Amino acid sequence: MARYELVKRSVALITLTNPPVNALSSPVRHAIAKSMERALSDPKVTAVVICGENGRFCGGADIREFAGPLRGPPLIPVLDAIEAGRKPVVAAIEGVALGGGFELALVCHYRIAHSKARLGLPEVTLGILPAAGGSQRLPRLIGIPAALELITTGRHISAQEALKLGIVDQVTDQNACEMAVEFALKSVGKPLSSRRVSMLTTPCPPDLDALLEAATMQVKKKARGVMAPLACIQAVRAAATMPFSKGMKRESELMTTLFNSGQAQAFQYCFFAQRTAGKWTLPSGAQWNNSKPREIRSAAVIGLGTMGRGIVVSLARVGISVIAVESEKKLLENGRQMVIGMLERDAKRRGVSASLNLLNFTLSLQDLKDVDLVIEAVFEDMALKKRVFQELSKVCRPTTLLCTNTSGLDVDALAGVTNRPHLVAGMHFFSPAHVMKLLEVVCGPRSSSETIATAMSLGKKMGKVSVAVGNCPGFVGNRMLKPYLDQATFLLEEGATPEQIDKALEDFGFAMGVFRMSDLAGLDVGWRVRKESGLTGPDVDSKNPPRRRQGHRYCPIPDMVCEQGRFGQKTGRGWYMYDKPGDTNAKPDPLIQNLLETYRSRYGIQPRNISDQEIIERCLFVLANEGFRILEDGMAARPEDIDVIYLFGYAFPRHRGGPMFYVSMVGLERVLERLEYYHQAHPDVPHLEPSALLKKLVACGSPPVQKWREYIKTMHSHL
Ligand code: CAA
Ligand code: NAI
């Protein structure tokens, strides 16, 4: 857990050995404490260097230990002993120094970092704060404004930035450990008191209150309802206004509150869920660790519309050469300009040069003979997509992977028109594709393990969080979205307003409520889909009883809004009104109020007062209920995958952990009871009927979300 060696005759080299990130587990803390005691008591030792094995200093506390009671020595006394020691201690930072790892470096008297190292206090992203003295030492070392920013955002910084801020003493391109040993030898005999960060006085700006107030406003706006950043600000205030020992006490009080909160559990669940999601499995037994992805050097993207452009950028910026295809010269030229502009802006932001030389533009599929992989992003029209896939099948070499970005069409139907169904899969990006982190990799029944491995690995290369999903209408994310959107519009019929529903969802933690979000995305997209699927249109409307379609309750209000040319922000009118098209400031529109009142009186609906609780329950319980059905159907392998899809694709608030984690925290029994209640009240809404899996889990005593998989195993997996 920590190796102890004597090097250069007088330097004790302590190497943390806890792969993969040298986390500070109980045995590691114990080993550090013992090694330090040995180094401090051995007269041969004049200085100490602490480093981490395999080029990684330390990834912080062992997060897996947070779920159980504290075992082994607590971290703070171990760190205090290092700082108080009378022999110089140098941290040799390679790879990462994060969280407790950074705090370990802060108690060392000197810090040498490799130029590629990254440092940070990401505790806030786990719903806690740097509570091994980090919130008290960092402000003393670099001042309030810089410390406040790093602690409240959890941002990782480069070694160069750490040097500029005064966090590290030296940055090297060479072996940081060897440099640290040399440095340690030179430090012997030099006074250490000024090197003990806890002894420093925090440089306190005159406008401290204003500064902290501004930070509070900012985090409240950015992370609605999240406790951790606010607690971080209070801890930093303590560093500015209290002596170190009292500040540590305050840090500990704040940590106790956060550590025991549901929010911290949610954040930590998200951390592991994100990592679990990459571990896909197919019913054949093929999985992430036994299937080899192909290397993709060249790709083609067909269709340079909203999605295609972002996909081209995502590929080109990770060094993949791309041939982009459009159907007409003008559209091709327009697409080219857009892609180049996006790539240039992206490169400028990242401080690199734009990889324009990787781009080629064409009107002919014939030019795709030699590419390794194709991503089709033409209109959502099955007949068109089939034509494209047939042609690709003829043109591309037999080993080329053919992927579709369809938002919900049958991937296997597309595979069926090719001469290589095993090489076909869905790669469902989210809009804007170069920004959004989520990628659903849709596994058709005939997709080979190599195809899935390649799509997953390509997603990772592009910086996406890739989740393998089954092939069903809407896949996972969009399939769940439909009942959620339906509930929001049913609530409008029953008496709520868009503002009220949005506010309830925003108070829950969403950055934007469902109606504001729909205005941003454009209301015409869904309208077109509803028309194509026979849910609305003059013919359909006149043939069906009002407010019913395909045997179930249907709310035509969204169609009525679109019929008025209100397509959202882009037209300056939607569920809200905007000062001008493209404006983002949503204001309640009396015309919508009017439309709702007229609608209700036409259908004899007596509006009622709807509580925020009902809004949350109906919208979010129905969302999770569909998630349970997806698990039953085997279209997602585990609840964590569904949560990751909602966190990264639909901005579900992270401090709630995702829809499935959220309902597990509410209590499955309560969720079941409320769904039964709402289903009784609205028997014509099948989505409100509790799913078999939810009932089964409740009958089995509502196990925690991490255990649900054991109850799903027997169901029919497509993954
Ligand atoms: N504790 C436990 N496990 C950890 C861990 C940690 N701090 N950091 C990473 N891991 C695990 C991951 O879960 C993953 O496990 P599996 O292989 O079983 O999935 C494995 O280590 C590798 O992790 P990544 O896939 O994330 O590897 P990466 O190379 O992409 O990234 C990393 C490495 C940047 C260190 C990243 O893992 C990371 O950000 N880790 C968390 C860092 C962090 O938040 N530290 C603060 C902890 S809280 C704290 O420190 C407070 C305190 O002292 C009181
Ligand atoms: P879009 O309408 O913006 O772009 C489609 C582009 O394809 C157009 O530029 C069109 O000229 C081009 N095109 C049509 N036929 C072509 C052909 N035969 N050859 C070459 N180019 C052709 O559509 P958008 O929004 O980009 O959607 C594309 C696909 O991505 C659809 O399947 C859609 O369902 C899916 N999708 C859309 C999302 C969105 O938010 N817009 C999100 C995720 C997936």
Residue 20 to residue 23: CA distance in whole angstroms: 8
**Which residues have C-beta within 8 Å of that of residue 394, sequence separation ≥ 6?**
none
Whether residue 100 has its Cβ less than 6 Å from ligand 1: yes
Mean pLDDT confidence for 451-475: 97
List the residue whose alpha carbon is closest to atom 15 of ligand 1: 275
For residue 408, the ligand 2 atom closest to its alpha carbon is 34
State in Å: Cα 267 to ligand 1 middle: 13
Residue 136 to residue 130: CA distance in whole angstroms: 9
Other CB atoms within 10 A of residue 399 CB: 10
> Residues 194-216: pLDDT tens digits?
999 999 999 989 999 999 999 99
Q: Which among 328, 337, 378, 532 is the best mutation to test ligand 2's pocket, defined by most ligand atoms within 8 Å of the CB? A: 378
> Residues 400-429: pLDDT tens digits?
999 999 999 999 999 999 999 999 999 999
List the residue whose alpha carbon is closest to atom 40 of ligand 1: 59
Angle, CA 56 vertex, CA 54 and CA 58 arms, to 5°? 130
For residue 335, the ligand 2 atom closest to its alpha carbon is 9
Whether residue 529 has its Cβ less than 6 Å from ligand 1: no
DSSP line for 97-160: EETHHHHHHHHSSEEEEETT-EEE-GGGGGTS--TTTHHHHHHHHH-HHHHHHHHHH---EEHH
State in Å: Cα 558 to ligand 2 middle: 23
Q: Which ligand is nearest to the CA of 526?
A: 2
pLDDT at 717: 77
Mean pLDDT confidence for 673-690: 97
Q: Which among 309, 312, 323, 327 is the best mutation to test ligand 2's pocket, defined by most ligand atoms within 8 Å of the CB? A: 327
List the residue whose alpha carbon is closest to atom 21 of ligand 1: 20
Whether residue 76 has its Cβ less than 6 Å from ligand 1: no
Residue 670 to residue 364: CA distance in whole angstroms: 57
State in Å: Cα 21 to ligand 1 middle: 6
State in Å: Cα 96 to ligand 1 middle: 10
List the residue whose alpha carbon is closest to atom 25 of ligand 2: 306
Sheet with 96-98: strands ordered across: 96-98, 118-120, 157-158
Whether residue 7 has its Cβ less than 6 Å from ligand 1: no
Whether residue 67 has its Cβ less than 6 Å from ligand 1: no
**pTM of the entire predicted model:** 0.95
Kindly indicate the confidence band of residue 440, based on its pLDDT and cuts at 50, 70 and 90: very high
List the residue whose alpha carbon is closest to atom 30 of ligand 1: 275
For residue 98, the ligand 1 atom closest to its alpha carbon is 45
The answer on pLDDT for 714 being more than 60 is no
State in Å: Cα 405 to ligand 2 middle: 8
The answer on pLDDT for 170 being more than 60 is yes
Q: Which among 21, 280, 465 is the best mutation to test ligand 1's pocket, defined by most ligand atoms within 8 Å of the CB? A: 21
State in Å: Cα 381 to ligand 2 middle: 9
Residues paired with 467 in a beta bridge: 440
Residue 486 to residue 622: CA distance in whole angstroms: 10
> Residues 277-294: pLDDT tens digits?
999 999 889 999 999 999
List the residue whose alpha carbon is closest to atom 17 of ligand 2: 327
For residue 307, the ligand 2 atom closest to its alpha carbon is 26
List the residue whose alpha carbon is closest to atom 10 of ligand 2: 303
pLDDT at 283: 86
Cα atoms in the 13 Å half-sphere on the side-chain side of 126:
24
Residues with active-site annotation: 103, 123
State in Å: Cα 649 to ligand 2 middle: 18
Kindly indicate the confidence band of residue 533, based on its pLDDT and cuts at 50, 70 and 90: confident
State in Å: Cα 58 to ligand 1 middle: 9
Whether residue 28 has its Cβ less than 6 Å from ligand 1: no
**Which residues have C-beta within 8 Å of that of residue 277, sequence separation ≥ 6?**
465, 466, 467, 640, 641, 644
The phi and psi torsions of 692 (rounded to 5 degrees) equal: -60, -40
Residue 131 to residue 134: CA distance in whole angstroms: 6
CB 468 within 8 A of CB 452: yes
In this prediction the ipTM stands at 0.97
List the residue whose alpha carbon is closest to atom 31 of ligand 1: 21
Q: Which ligand is nearest to the CA of 255?
A: 1
Kindly indicate the confidence band of residue 471, based on its pLDDT and cuts at 50, 70 and 90: very high
State in Å: Cα 302 to ligand 2 middle: 8
Mean pLDDT confidence for 329-348: 97
The answer on pLDDT for 716 being more than 90 is no
Whether residue 134 has its Cβ less than 6 Å from ligand 1: no
pLDDT at 223: 87
> Residues 86-143: pLDDT tens digits?
999 999 999 999 999 999 999 999 999 999 999 999 999 999 999 999 999 999 999 9
Kindly indicate the confidence band of residue 712, based on its pLDDT and cuts at 50, 70 and 90: confident
Cα atoms in the 13 Å half-sphere on the side-chain side of 347:
16
For residue 271, the ligand 1 atom closest to its alpha carbon is 13
For residue 278, the ligand 1 atom closest to its alpha carbon is 19
List the residue whose alpha carbon is closest to atom 19 of ligand 2: 327
- Give ligand 2 pocket residues (Cβ under 6 A): 302-308, 325-327, 331, 377-380, 384, 388, 405-407, 429-431
CB 413 within 8 A of CB 435: no
